[in-house]
Amino acid sequence: MGESIRKSPKRRIFDIIQIGNKNDLISRLFDWFIVIIIILNILTVFLDTFEELSGLRPLFRVVEAVTVFFFCIEYILRIWTAGYLYPEKKGIGAQLRFLHSFDGIVDLLTILPFFFLDGFIVFRMLRVVRILHLFRVNAHYDSFHVITSVLIEKKNQIFSSVFIIIVLMLASSLGIYSAEHEAQPEAFRNAFSGVWWSVSTLLTVGYGDIYPITVIGKIMAILIAFLGVGVVAIPTGIISAGFVEQYTKKQYSDVRFSDVNDVGEIFIDDKSSFKGLTVAEVTENYNIRILVILRGEMTIVPNDILKLKKNDIIIVKTDKLIKA
């Protein structure tokens, strides 16, 4: 209570509008309010496309105007409190940093289409960006955070599998063009026609708008269809393995000291109070002894000045049990 009273109004507003602040009831209510506003806005835009509901369009315009008004207020408040989000920046530097950040761009593109609704078609298409606003809210909660963590950790493997897909796509497109161009000059006019066919064959079962008629082309289609099954399975397997790893790490992060009867493992994530502390500080403040630190593929023997980092797994034992 005392800590809340000492905070300035600007700081309090910053705490409230921060997404995923689970320890603040008002902040969580604000998150839910924003989610409801976003869903209401998207639903209004969706219903506005039905000719059968053309009589309700004045109501849709009012609802959209009200929801965009709340988006504007939130956007202004985030710019105003940007100094707390980027403490290393000062004054207008923090505000400019927010304006060209991902969250700032999403907020701006959420608002902009409303004021250019009757202008260029690109502004009307930007209304779809409001869905990203909903993703941004959800990204700060554990369920969505697991997905983003998997994609970030496995990005190199995913990029490698995408590279394999691109190579196969280009090879198959040139091959099918060479095999089918003379037989179907209208269907396979150039290599790009082959690209469209190879993508639809590798990643689906084909759309039927372009298909081979020569014997060589049909044999290639069979081989490429089989390759497509394996190509899709590669990134799927990588992401599935990543989910298993993340949930295993989360089990480690949920370990409590009362659960450690002899020797235990504790995973250090963003929410861990150990993150950034030295081994000596952990030993002194929490009355436990760190035996080994697992950092990636390395096994580290701890010393007092070594700092713990995110994704470290520490093998611990309580002093009480060690003395016993």
Q: Is pLDDT of 5 > 70?
A: no
Residue ranges of the domains in the chain? 2-140, 155-251, 255-323
Query: d(Cα 211, Cα 205) in Å, to the nearest integer?
Result: 11
Residue 278 three-state SS = strand
**Sequence-distant (≥ 6) Cβ neighbours of residue 55 within 8 angstroms:** none
The class of domain 2-140 in CATH terms is: mainly alpha
CA distances from 34 to 4, 27, 135 (A): 23, 11, 12
Q: Is pLDDT of 6 > 80?
A: no
Environment class of residue 202 by beta-carbon count within 10 Å: exposed (0-12), middle (13-18) or buried (19+)? Answer: buried
Query: d(Cα 201, Cα 13) in Å, to the nearest integer?
Result: 53
The whole-number pLDDT of residue 136 equals 61
| Residues above pLDDT 90, as percent of the chain | 3
Q: Are 65 and 114 in contact (CB under 8 A)?
A: yes
Task: Summarize pLDDT for 187-246 with one digit per residue, the tens.
Answer: 888 888 888 888 888 877 677 778 888 999 889 888 888 888 887 788 888 888 887 777
Average pLDDT over residues 106-127: 65
pLDDT band, very low/low/confident/very high, at 76 (cuts 50, 70, 90): very high
Task: Summarize pLDDT for 87-96 with one digit per residue, the tens.
Answer: 888 778 888 8
The whole-number pLDDT of residue 286 equals 78
Task: Summarize pLDDT for 7-49 with one digit per residue, the tens.
Answer: 688 888 888 887 766 677 888 888 888 888 888 888 887 888 8
Greater model confidence, 148 or 172: 172
Query: d(Cα 282, Cα 280) in Å, to the nearest integer?
Result: 5
Of 70-74, 204-208, 304-308, 313-317, the poorest mean pLDDT is in: 204-208
Q: Is pLDDT of 130 > 80?
A: no
- 194: its two tokens: 């082959």
Q: Is pLDDT of 138 > 60?
A: no
The class of domain 155-251 in CATH terms is: mainly alpha
The whole-number pLDDT of residue 73 equals 92
Furthest-apart CA atoms within the chain: distance in Å? 85
Q: Do domains 155-251 and 255-323 have the same CATH topology?
A: no
Residue 109 three-state SS = helix
Against a cut of 0.75, is the pTM above it?
no
CATH number for the 255-323 domain, one of 3.40.640.10, 3.40.190.10, 3.30.70.1450, 3.40.720.10? 3.30.70.1450
